[in-house]
Amino acid sequence: MALIELAGVGRHYRLGDIDVLALDGVDLAIEAGEFVAIMGQSGSGKSTLMNLLGCLDVPTAGRLAIDGRDAGALSPDELAALRRERFGFIFQRYHLLPHLDARANAGLPAVYAGVAAGARHERAQALLQRLGLGTRLHHKPNELSGGQQQRVSIARALMNGGQIILADEPTGALDSQSGAELLALLAELHRRGHTIILVTHDATVAAHARRIIELRDGRVVRDSGTPAGHHPAAPSAEDAAPASGGWWQRLRGQWHEALQSALQALLGNRLRSVLSMLGISIGIAAVVSIVALTSAARGSVERDVGAFMQGRILVYRGNPALPPGTVPRPFLPSELAAVRALPGVRGVTFEREAQMTARHASRDSMVSVLGTEAHTLAMRKLKVVQGRELTQRDFDSRAQVALIDDKARDHLFRPGEVVIGRTLLVAPQVQPAGMGAAAPEGVALPVTIVGVVADSGGFAQFGSWLGRVFVPHTTFAQKLDLRIDADNFNVLLDVTVPPDELRKQISYRLRALHGAEDFGIWSADEDFRKFQQVTGVMSLLFAGVGAISLLVGGVGVMNIMLVSVSERTREIGIRMAVGARQADVRLQFLVEAVLLCCLGGVAGVLLSWLAAQVLNRVQSGLQVEVSGGALLVAFGVSSVVGLVFGTLPARRAAALSPVDALARE
C-alpha cells in the first residue's frame, strides 16, 4: 500500500458566483521514501495539490488516503494530529514566528506533541547545530539571513520526525548559493529515508528529484513514476521524534505556550494593549469604587441608624383605632415595672423632653430641655466637644448642671464667649391667654453649663430645629416636670427572646393593665431589617450602573481581539500547519483576552485604591476602603469578562482553515 494515494481527487472553490476548479480528477500514488517534484506554471494547481497532500486542505471530490486513512473523513483535530506526527513543511517565505528565536521556532511542533520543555529544547538545538546554526539559537528571524531562516524551517519540519517533507518553492526567495545548499539538504534527507515532495515551477530545481509530476489546468499531464527498484532507506535513529509526554505534559505545554504567546502579543502591541486595558480598568474602577463607596455609606448609615434603632422597642401613648372620644392613658411607674419584669427585657427607659425658655444675661431663646440618661448622647450620636459629660454623681445628686448644643450656644451667647461654668435659667413656657386651659407658670431653674455637645460626625444625624439643653433625668423629674407617668418609653432588649415574641408579650401585658389597646408599639429591629434590605438593593443598583462601563470595556476587548485575529491570521495558519489543534488556538486567544482583562482589572483596583485614599484625606465623615477581597473580585470579574468577550474571537481564530490562513499576509 502506497504512503499517499489520490483517486479521482478534485478541488474547487467558490469565488462569489464563480466556481473555480483547481484540481480535476487527479490520480496519484506516492511511495514512502520517494523524492518527488511537482511542476507546473502558476495556476496549474500544484500549490493546491501540495495543500491536499499535507492535509492542510481536504478534497471536494475523490479520495485522499495517508497510510490508508481517508483524509476527507478526518476531523480538523485528527488532521492536525496527522500533520503533527507525519509531516514537515518548508515554505517559500519560511513562515517563522517573528517573536520567537530560532530554537523556539524549530521546537514549535513538539509543543503541540506534548514533549517536555527540556527534551524539546535539546532536540531543537541538536537539529540547528546539525544544520549549521549552532551559534544562532537565540536569534529572531529578522536577525537571520534568508538561507538561515530556511534552515530553521527545515529544523522545524524535522522536529517531530518529519517522515514526509513538503517543500513549497523552497528556493524561490533564496540566492543561488543558498538554494543549492537547500537542495543538497533535501537530497541528504531523502537518503536518510524521508519522503520529499517538492513543489516548483523551475525545471532545474525539479531535476534534483527522482520522480517528476507535471500539472496543467488541474490535471496530471506527465508522471515519470516511481523509479524502478525503489527501496526506501531505513529511518535513522537520529531522526526519530522525541518521546511525547502524557496528557499532563501536553496540558502544561499547551498552557505555557498560550501564556507565552499572549504575553508576547500584548508586549508587541503595547499602546493598543494599554488602551484596551484602560477600558477594562475604568470599568473595574467604576464597579469597585461604587461598591466601596456605597458599602462605606451603607455601613455608616446602618451603624448610625442601628445605634438608634436596634435592640429596642418603642411604646407610645395613643392608637388611631380607638373609638372616638377615648382618651389614651399615660404609662404609670407600676406599668413600666411590669414591662421591665418580662423575660428578654434588659431595661426600660424614657426620655422626658419639654420646650422651655432659656435665658442668659439679656438673651433668651426657646429650647428643648431633655432629661438625659447615661446612654442618651450615644443614642443621639452626640459627643462632648467642650467641658465634660454628665456623671453618675450628677444623676444621684440631682445636680443642677447641663450640657448645651451649638444651636443653644449660638442663640444665648456671643461669638467666642466662654460658656463653660456660666449659668442658664430654664423655665416652662406660659400658655398664652385664649389658647386653651392656662398652664401654671413654672419657676425658673438655674443650671450650670458643664459641657457643649455636637454631632459625632456619623453619616446619619438626629438633630433638632431647636437648641437643646441636656440635664440629668433625675433633676428634670424633680425640679422641672413633677409628672410620674410617661407618654412613651423604650424597651431595651437582650438576645434571650426574639423581638417579635417580646413585642407580643408587651402588648398582652399592657392591654391587661389598661383594659384596652390605647397604645402603639414600634419594633425598631423590624424596621431596621427593612432599612437594610433597601440599602442593599440600592447598593446593587449602583453597582449595576458601574457595571455598564465594564460592559463597554468588554466590548472594546472583543473588538481588539477580533482585530488581533485578523492581523495574526498567518501565525494561526503556521501553528495549525505544525500540528496545533483547534482547542490550542482557542486557548491561545482566550488566555490573551483573559490576561488583558485581568491586567486591566488590577489597574482598575489600583485606581480605586488611589481614589479612596484621596477621598479619605479630603474628608473624614466617610471612610472608604478597597479591601484585599476587591482584588480577588476584580480578577474574577475580569476573567469572566475576558472569557465572555474573548470567546467569539477565539472561536473565529480556531475555525480558520490552515490553507486559507497561510495564504494571508
Alpha-carbon gap, residue 137 to 105, rounded angstroms: 10
pLDDT at res. 440: 41
Q: What is the mean pLDDT of the chain?
A: 84
Q: Regarding predicted confidence, which is higher, 311 or 272?
A: 272
pLDDT at res. 564: 86
**What's the whole-number mean pLDDT along residues 474-501?**
81
pLDDT score of 437 more than 90: no
User: Measuring CA to CA, which residue among 578, 566, 599 is closest to residue 100?
Assistant: 578
Task: Tell me the pLDDT tens digit for each residue of 513-559.
Answer: 998 889 998 876 666 677 667 767 776 776 676 677 777 778 888 88
pLDDT at res. 19: 84
Q: Give the Å distances, CA to CA, from 540 to 597, 608, 638.
A: 23, 18, 18
Q: List the Cα angle 294/297/303 in 5-degree steps.
A: 135
pLDDT score of 148 more than 80: yes
pLDDT at res. 525: 66
pLDDT at res. 501: 87
Take residue 495 and report the three cell numbers written for it: 438576645
**What's the whole-number mean pLDDT along residues 81-95?**
89
Task: Tell me the pLDDT tens digit for each residue of 104-123.
Answer: 999 999 988 888 888 889 99
CB atoms within 10 A of CB 210: 16
- Among residues of the chain, what percentage have pLDDT more than 70? 88
CA 338 to chain centre: 58
Region for residue 521 given its phi and psi (left: phi exceeds 0; alpha: psi -120 to 50; beta: otherwise): beta
Residue position matching grid coordinates 455608616 = 300
Task: Tell me the pLDDT tens digit for each residue of 608-648.
Answer: 888 878 877 887 666 777 767 666 777 777 788 888 888 98
Q: Regarding predicted confidence, which is higher, 112 or 309?
A: 112
Task: Tell me the pLDDT tens digit for each residue of 324-363.
Answer: 878 889 888 889 889 989 988 888 877 778 889 999 988 9
Helix ranges restricted to H, 211-269: 247-268
**What's the whole-number mean pLDDT along residues 233-261?**
75
Task: Tell me the pLDDT tens digit for each residue of 269-296.
Answer: 888 888 888 888 887 777 777 777 777 7
Contact 561, 606 (CB under 8 A): no
**What's the whole-number mean pLDDT along residues 170-174?**
84
pLDDT at res. 624: 73
Q: Which domains does the chain have, with CATH numbers?
A: 4-244 (3.40.50.300), 262-303+530-663 (no CATH), 312-431+440-523 (no CATH)
